[in-house]
Amino acid sequence: MTSRALVLFSGGQDSTVALAWALARFDSVETVGFDYGQRHRVELACRDTIRDRLPAVAPELSKRLGPDHMLDLAALGAISDTALTRDSEIAFTDAGLPTTFVPGRNLIFLTFAAALAYRRHARHIVLGVCETDYSGYPDCRDDTIKAMQVALGLGLDRRLVLHTPLMWRDKAQTFALARALGGQPLLDLVVEDSHSCYLGDRTKRHDWGYGCGTCPACELRARGYAAYLYSPDDSGPSHDS
Ligand code: ZN
C-alpha cells in the first residue's frame, strides 16, 4: 500500500528538514502551508523556492514530492496579539514566554492539516516541532503532539500518525540531519533558502543563511550552525530516524 504523508511546511529551517525526512520515508509526500498574517511572510515565498529547487538539489527525494496546499488562516492572525502578527517588540512575558508565541497555533495548524490529510487519504502528518531548544512554546511539546494525535484520531475516526523527527534534535543536529538526508547540496539549500528570522529580514547573508542576526530565531539558528560546523555528524536520536 502506498504510504502518503502531509508535511506542515512553513519554509523555515525545521520544516524544510522535516520535509526531506518525509521524502526519504514515504511514497508520496504533500505539503501544506498557512498564511495567518505572520510578520515573516517572506517565509511563504521561501516555500516555493525550496519546492522548486528540490528536484535539482535532491532528485531522488523529490520524486516523491506531491502537490502543495496553501490555507488562509487570517482568523488566527486576527485573534492573536503577538510580536509575530503585530509590529511590536520581541521580548519575554512575565510567564517566561516570548511575545512571538501565537496561542494555539500548532493546535490549529494540526487540526486543519488533519482535515486536509483526511481528504487526501494521507495517514501520516509530519511537522518540524522541537522540544530540545524550542522557545518555550507549549504547543511544540512532545506531550502536546501526542495528545493531538489521540484527539484527531478519535475526532476523525481514522488512524493518523503524527511524526516529529526533530523533537529531540537541537538545531546543530537538524543541520546534520539535512546533510545526512541529501548531502551538502541539501544542506546548502536549507542554509540559502529556508527562512527563520522573525523580522522577515533577507537582506543580510550570514554563513548560516539570511536574517537580521539578532532576533531569537536568528540567534538560535546562528548558534546551531556554529555548533554543527564544530561537530557535523548526525547524532540525533536513532529511534525516530
Ligand atoms: Zn532575525
Domains and CATH numbers, the chain: 4-230 (3.40.50.620)
Buried b (16+ CB within 10 A) or exposed e, 123-150: bbbbbbbbbbebeebebbbeebbeebbe
**Residue 83, pLDDT score:** 54
Cell numbers describing residue 192: 540559502
Give the percent of the chain with pLDDT over 70: 85
The arithmetic mean of pLDDT across residues 149-178, rounded, is 96
Q: Which pLDDT tens digit goes with each residue over 42-80?
A: 888 999 999 999 999 999 999 999 999 999 998 887 776
Tell how far the Cα of 83 is from the centroid of ligand 1, in angstroms. 12
Section 210-217 average pLDDT: 93
pLDDT tens-digit profile of 133-161?
666 678 889 999 999 999 999 999 999 99
Say how many Å lie between the CA of residue 229 and the centre of ligand 1. 20
- Neighbour count for residue 231 (Cβ, 10 Å): 10
pLDDT above 50 for 241 = no
Does residue 198 sit in helix, strand or coil? coil
| 166 or 39, greater pLDDT | 166
Ligand 1 centroid–CA 68 distance in Å is 26
Distance 74 CA to ligand 1 centre (A): 23
Q: Give the Å distance between the CA of 202 and the centre of ligand 1.
A: 9
Q: How far is the CA of 137 from the centre of ligand 1 (A)?
A: 18
Q: For residue 212, what are the CA distances in angstroms to 27, 99, 221?
A: 37, 17, 11
Predicted model pTM: 0.90
User: What pLDDT, on a 0 to 100 scale, did the predictor assign at position 31?
Assistant: 98
Residue 11 near residue 35 (C-beta atoms within 8 A): no
Measure 194 CA to ligand 1 centroid, in angstroms.
Answer: 13
Distance CA(197)–CA(177), nearest Å, equals: 21
pLDDT in tens, 78-136: 776 665 555 556 566 666 655 556 778 899 999 999 999 999 999 999 999 998 866 66
* Residue 131 cell numbers, joined: 522540544
pLDDT at position 32 = 98
Question: Per mean pLDDT, which range of 125-134, 152-161, 180-189, 209-218 is the poorest?
Answer: 125-134
List the grid coordinates of 79. Answer: 485573534
Q: How far is the CA of 197 from the centre of ligand 1 (A)?
A: 4
CA distance 107 to 133: 20
Residue 23 has pLDDT above 50, yes or no: yes
Residue 18 has pLDDT above 80, yes or no: yes
